């Protein structure tokens, strides 16, 4: 039996083997009909998912909620620290303990790295990390891989450019870790010097077979890649706003530069100005499909974790 059935928490994509990822991607493709046909199944009927979002979110929170509801379950939760008793001074640990009493699994987003791990150590229900500071965003990576596999056909042999805020962008950290499980992958790192990929991630990547290449402009790499994975400059993680303003708008993708190229454009969203609106109506735009893929993928994650870890 593959390891995914023993997995209780999803804290870091580094806890996954390739076969675990493949299991989730296969399950997701089986669930895509339910997701697309807007049906409701009964797989998680009677189960409750606790959504603890201390940091803003649109896609992640709403897709977890949609996924739980499509599986016949229900959700409770809050969408900012301000709307929970944390604003009255309650500790994260006490808040998590309350949620443990009310729900069958917890989804946590927090601005500090390590908070999901901390909570998973003090509660008995499965915990899913929905983004911890500049750390990890493992479920985003699973839907990114699902999108790549569906659009390109395979993840092995991938040539992908990670563009923008590689320092604070947690999606590119998790994605780089996961790609290390695949064969013959080349990652092109394209970022301003101030926002380079952190050493710890590079250290992990260097232990795998990934070929890493650095570039300073999109033009240098655009003819070589299958995927342009564009990210937002993470304004909220800058200590000094002037530093942000200097870098903002450093890399912008537009329709003209894509013409004649054989690639797709992905973005975890939200986008600010990194992808011009004129790309939206082209065949290159896979970022909205990617966001929609969150539902079957998160359905597969919830189904697997909650069924294998009954209360
Ligand atoms: C990302 C995140 O929160 O890390 N968004 C998402 O979950 N789809 C990316 C971002 O905020 O820039």
Residue, of 11 and 1, whose pLDDT is higher: 11
Amino acid 155: pLDDT: 98
SS3 per residue for 130-159: EEECCCCCHHHHHHHHHHHHHHHCCCCCCE
Q: Could you list the beta-strand ranges (E) of the chain.
A: 48-53, 74-78, 105-110, 127-132, 159-163, 186-190, 211-215, 227-230, 264-266
Average pLDDT taken over every residue of the chain: 95
The burial of 42, by beta-carbon neighbours within 10 Å (0-12 exposed, 13-18 middle, 19 or more buried), is given as exposed
55 assigned to some structural domain:
yes
Together in a domain, 285 and 149: yes
pLDDT tens-digit map of 250-274: 899 999 999 999 999 999 999 999 9
Amino acid 188: pLDDT: 98
Q: What is the mean pLDDT of residues 20-29?
A: 97
Beta carbons of 102 and 48 less than 8 angstroms apart: yes
242 assigned to some structural domain:
yes
Q: How confident is the model at residue 1 (pLDDT cuts 50, 70, 90)?
A: low
Together in a domain, 42 and 129: yes
Q: How confident is the model at residue 177 (pLDDT cuts 50, 70, 90)?
A: very high
Ligand 1 touching residue 267 (CB < 6 A): no
2 assigned to some structural domain:
no
Q: What angle in degrees, to the nearest 10, is found between the helix axes of 59-70 and 18-37?
A: 70
Amino acid 34: pLDDT: 87
Helix, strand and coil in the chain, % to nearest 5 = 45, 15, 40
| Structural domain boundaries enclosing 127 | 13-136+293-308
**Adjacent-strand bridge partners of 106:** 50, 127
Tell me which residue of 247, 248, 281, 243 sits closest to 265, measured CA to CA.
281
Amino acid 3: pLDDT: 85
297 assigned to some structural domain:
yes
And the tokens for 25?
A: 């991607």
Ligand 1 touching residue 138 (CB < 6 A): no
Together in a domain, 229 and 131: no
Together in a domain, 287 and 207: yes
Together in a domain, 28 and 120: yes
Together in a domain, 24 and 102: yes
Tell me which residue of 233, 288, 303 sits closest to 73, measured CA to CA.
303
Together in a domain, 26 and 49: yes
pLDDT tens-digit map of 183-236: 999 999 999 999 999 999 999 999 999 999 999 899 999 999 999 999 999 999
Least confident of 137-141, 188-192, 243-247: 243-247
Give the integer Cα–Cα distance in Å for 77 and 127. 14
CATH code of 128's domain: 3.40.50.1370
What is the C-alpha R_g of the chain? 19
Amino acid 24: pLDDT: 97
Give the CA-trace dihedral at 284, 288, 290, 292, to 10 degrees: -150
Ligand 1 touching residue 170 (CB < 6 A): yes
78 assigned to some structural domain:
yes
- Percent pLDDT > 90 in the chain is 87
122 assigned to some structural domain:
yes
For the chain, how many structural domains are there in total? 2
Token pair 């870098």 in the structure block, residue: 247
The burial of 138, by beta-carbon neighbours within 10 Å (0-12 exposed, 13-18 middle, 19 or more buried), is given as buried
- Pocket perturbation via mutation, ligand 1, pick of 56, 135, 270, 294 by most ligand atoms within 8 A of CB: 270
Together in a domain, 119 and 129: yes
Together in a domain, 130 and 20: yes
Task: Please say if the pLDDT value at position 2 is more than 80.
Answer: no
Q: Could you list the beta-strand ranges (E) of 133-270.
A: 159-163, 186-190, 211-215, 227-230, 264-266
Q: How confident is the model at residue 64 (pLDDT cuts 50, 70, 90)?
A: very high
155 assigned to some structural domain:
yes
Task: Please say if the pLDDT value at position 39 is more than 80.
Answer: yes
And the tokens for 228?
A: 């342009």
Ligand 1 touching residue 149 (CB < 6 A): no
> Which numbered atom of ligand 1 lies nearest the CA of 234?
12
Q: How confident is the model at residue 84 (pLDDT cuts 50, 70, 90)?
A: confident
> Residue with the nearest Cα to atom 12 of ligand 1?
232
Give the integer Cα–Cα distance in Å for 65 and 83. 18
CA atoms within 13 A on the CB side of 260: 3
Q: What are phi and psi of 212, to 5 degrees?
A: -105, 135
Amino acid 247: pLDDT: 87
> Which numbered atom of ligand 1 lies nearest the CA of 130?
7
Peptide bond into 83 cis (omega under 30): no
pLDDT tens-digit map of 86-122: 888 889 999 999 999 999 999 999 999 999 999 999 9
3 assigned to some structural domain:
no
- The residues, any chain, with a CB within 8 Å of residue 63's CB and separated by 6 or more, are 291, 294, 295, 298
Together in a domain, 278 and 155: yes
Together in a domain, 215 and 94: no
Beta carbons of 171 and 137 less than 8 angstroms apart: yes
Together in a domain, 246 and 197: yes
């Amino acid at each position: 039996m593959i390891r995914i059935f023993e997995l209780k928490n999803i804290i870091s994509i580094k806890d996954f083997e390739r076969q675990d990822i493949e299991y989730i991607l296969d399950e997701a493709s089986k669930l895509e009909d339910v997701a697309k046909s807007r049906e409701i199944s009964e797989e998680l009927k009677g189960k409750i998912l606790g959504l603890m979002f201390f940091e803003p979110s649109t896609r992640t929170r709403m897709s977890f909620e949609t996924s739980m509801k499509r599986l016949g379950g229900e959700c409770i939760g809050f969408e900012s620290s301000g709307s929970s008793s944390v604003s009255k001074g309650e500790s994260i640990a006490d808040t998590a303990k309350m949620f443990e009493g009310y729900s069958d699994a917890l989804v946590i987003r927090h601005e500090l790295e390590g908070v999901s791990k901390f909570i998973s150590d003090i509660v008995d229900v499965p915990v899913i990390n929905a983004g911890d500071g500049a750390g990890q965003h493992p479920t985003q990576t699973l839907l990114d891989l699902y999108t790549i596999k569906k659009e390109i056909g395979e993840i092995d042999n991938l040539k992908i450019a990670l563009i923008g805020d590689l320092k604070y962008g947690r999606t590119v950290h998790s994605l780089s870790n996961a790609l290390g499980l695949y064969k013959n992958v080349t990652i092109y790192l394209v970022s301003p010097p101030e926002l380079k990929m952190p050493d710890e991630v590079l250290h992990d990547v260097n232990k795998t077979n990934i070929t890493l290449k650095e570039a300073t402009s999109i033009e240098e790499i655009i003819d070589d890649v299958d995927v342009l994975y564009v990210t937002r400059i993470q304004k909220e993680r800058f200590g000094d706003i002037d530093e942000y303003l200097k870098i903002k708008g450093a890399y912008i993708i537009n329709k003209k530069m894509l013409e004649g190229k054989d690639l797709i454009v992905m973005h975890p969203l939200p986008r600010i100005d990194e992808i011009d609106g004129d790309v939206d109506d082209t065949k290159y735009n896979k970022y909205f499909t990617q966001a929609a893929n969150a539902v079957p993928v998160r359905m597969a994650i919830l189904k697997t974790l909650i069924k294998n870890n009954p209360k």
